[in-house]
Every structure is written in structure tokens, then in C-alpha cells.
Amino acid sequence: GENVEQHPSTLSVQEGDSAVIKCTYSDSASNYFPWYKQELGKRPQLIIDIRSNVGEKKDQRIAVTLNKTAKHFSLHITETQPEDSAVYFCAATAAGNKLTFGGGTRVLVKP
Amino acid sequence: DAGITQSPRHKVTETGTPVTLRCHQTENHRYMYWYRQDPGHGLRLIHYSYGVKDTDKGEVSDGYSVSRSKTEDFLLTLESATSSQTSVYFCAINGQKNTEAFFGQGTRLTVV
């Protein structure tokens, strides 16, 4: 089955700096890659997603890039703010619409 | 919020007892998932369903069973709870392949 690796597990950045989280996946048939944000005590919520026919997608301060050849994708957050502090999860969907998550990255934005 | 609710929200149970968690949706979505979340392990898929009476195992299915007798309900059963099944359980739904999955509020289960 699909295996998704996510790095780093924790990330501390100064407010205003950029944050980058990287994920790799194993199943070349995977074709949908969402990113979720989970605040403390809350449910995960989608922040951005990308499909395999697109190399990059941007939404305000958030961008995702996908390299299908290398089987990796990344989340970029620019101009980080304290409210960006949370746990972020990458995921991949392969055959049967089975959604597999990475281990998560705890992001701390220091004011 | 998407129309998805989990019950109960919190439960404490004793080792060896059966436990059933319920996920209920009002979106008529085809796909439903059960995940468990533990520190250091992220969200791990237990079982998922791609239609009524159609289910498949995830990566951590041992000790768990599921049933989906109607579109709106997906039940997760721990036949004989163990302390290793203490976790936060999330249900998720989505309507089509490769689209956003919506999560329930989670159920915190403690097995003592």
C-alpha cells in the first residue's frame, strides 16, 4: 500500500519567515495530494490540495509543489504568523480513494 | 461544518469490553474512513468504506471491525478493547475520488 513520509516532525520559525514541509510517497499511482492543518484539540481541516496534472498551486501565503518523477511534494508558507502555529499533515490518495497521511509536522511560529 | 458527527465524544472503558463508535453523516457521501491519532504517528487509517456494505482494511486494522449497513452510518467496533487502543479516533467522509475529506470532531477513547 501507499506510504507517506513527512519531514521535519517539528519546525520552529520566526514570525515573518517562511516554513517548508516536505513529503514523499511510494505509490506512483497516487494522483491527489491534500494538506491538512490541525489546531490543538480540533479536527484536521484542508488548507490546500494539488492533483497530479499540476506542478504547483498557490493560495495567498500558502503554496504546494509536486514532483511526480521524484514522488515528493512540499508545502510552503510565506510570511508566517502566530496563527499558523499548528500541526500540518500531508496525504496522498491512490487506488480506491484510500487517503494515507504522513506523520505530521508541528509548526511553531515565534513572535 | 460538513454534516458529520461522531458519538460518543469521550469514553472510558475497561480492558476486554466491546466498544462501538459511531460516525453519522448527512451529506450522502460515498466514502467514509476511520482513523486513529496517536502522538508521533499522525493519522493512521483503520478501515474505510466505499459504499454500503463495501469496506476495506487500512494499515492498522487488527483488533477492529466495521460495518456500514446504510449510507449515513459507519460503525467502528473494538471487539475486546486493549490499552493499546487508547487513542483519539476520527471519522472522515468525502463524496468523490480525489476531493476534500471532511473530519468529524473526534472521539477520545481511554481503555483502562
Residue A60 CB contacts under 8 Å (≥ 6 apart), including other chains? none
Enumerate the residues of chain B whose CB falls inside 8 A of the CB of residue A9: 40
| CA pair distance B25, B2, nearest whole angstrom | 8
| B43/A contact by beta carbon, under 8 A | yes
What number is the average pLDDT over the span A79-87? 97
Task: Work out the mean pLDDT of chain A and round it to a whole number.
Answer: 94
> Residue B3 CA to chain centroid, in angstroms?
15
Q: Provide mean pLDDT across the span A37-45.
A: 95
pLDDT (mean) for B20-42 = 94
pLDDT, residue B31, reads: 94
Interface test with chain A among B9, B93, B98, B102, by most A beta carbons within 10 Å: B98
Searching chain B, which residue's CA lies closest to the CA of residue A46?
Answer: B100
C-beta atoms of A49 and B104 within 8 A = no
The Cα of A11 is separated from the nearest Cα of chain B by a number of Å equal to 14
Question: What pLDDT is stored for residue A94 in this prediction?
Answer: 77
Closest partner residue to B101 (CB to CB) among A1, A31, A99 is: A99
Name which of A20-29, A50-59, A83-92, B25-34 the model is least confident about: A50-59
CB contact under 8 A, A104 and B56: no
Tell me the percentage of chain B whose pLDDT exceeds 70.
Answer: 98
CA-nearest residue to A97 within chain B is B97
Chain A, nearest residue to B102 by Cα: A45
Phi, psi of B4 (to 5 degrees): -140, 130
Q: Omega before A34 cis (within 30°)?
A: no
Give how far Cα A76 sits from Cα of A38, A39, A57, A111, Å: 16, 18, 10, 19
What is the per-residue pLDDT for B1? 59
Does the structure show a pLDDT above 90 at A82?
yes
Average pLDDT, chain B: 94
DSSP-derived 3-state class of residue B71: coil
The string of pLDDT tens digits covering residues B38-91 is 987 889 999 999 999 999 999 999 999 999 999 999 999 999 999 999 999 999
Answer yes or no: do A104 and B43 touch at CB < 8 A: yes
pLDDT band at B100 (very low <50, low <70, confident <90, very high): confident
Residues 6+ apart with CB under 8 A from B39: none
The yes-or-no verdict on residue A18 having pLDDT over 90 is yes
- With beta carbons under 8 A apart, name residues in chain A contacting B107: none
